[in-house]
Amino acid sequence: MTGKDPMRACLCLLLVACAADPAIVDGEGLYDLTVRWTPGGCGITEVTPANYRVRDAGGLYVVTDEDDPDASISGTVVCGEAQCDLDFVQISTGADVTVEIHHIWRLGADRTVLGNGLATLTTTTGECTQAFTVSGSAE
């Protein structure tokens, strides 16, 4: 046989193509976040820490609030080659207040988290809403 072996050339092309495929970002981890409330709304002014755990439960991600484990959380976590997009609602109930928080976050391949959301607080005397931004990282 003269020239290059066509099977070897084909195998090399397949290996290069496979090696170049980017990996899917892993959404699992402990999300160590800082919440910055925008002025107005409910009058919350302080910068607050927040810790969420995201884990893979058989192909579906489960989000829990490490600071409020009894909170009800539902939504989606969709991960691709460059990022994970998290979009979920958290409901917490206290003695005289119900808090519903809509979170929209993005986890980058570098494990940086950025996002925003809107909190609605409902009490016996009324309701208020306040927006916030989120930044931090996932371990």
Concatenate the DSSP letters of all residues of 71-90 into one string.
Answer: -EEEEEEEE-SSEEEEEEEE
pLDDT digits (tens, 9 = 90+) for 101-131: 999 999 999 999 999 999 999 998 999 999 9
> CA-to-CA distance for 41 and 65, rounded, in angstroms?
23
pLDDT in tens, 90-107: 999 988 999 999 999 999
Q: Identify which has the larger pLDDT, 8 or 69.
A: 69
The predicted pLDDT at position 20 comes to 43
pLDDT of residue 17: 37
Maximum C-alpha span of the chain: 89
CA 21 to chain centre: 23
Q: What is the pTM of this model?
A: 0.79
pLDDT higher than threshold 80 for residue 5: no
Sequence spans of domains, the chain: 23-138
**Domain at 23-138: CATH code:** 2.40.128
What stretch of H or E contains 101?
strand 97-108
pLDDT grade, residue 59 (50/70/90)?
confident
Q: How many angstroms separate the Cα of 51 from the Cα of each of 23, 33, 54, 97, 116?
A: 26, 6, 10, 21, 15
Pick from 35-39, 43-47, 116-120: least confident:
43-47
Distance from the Cα of residue 123 to its chain's centroid: 28
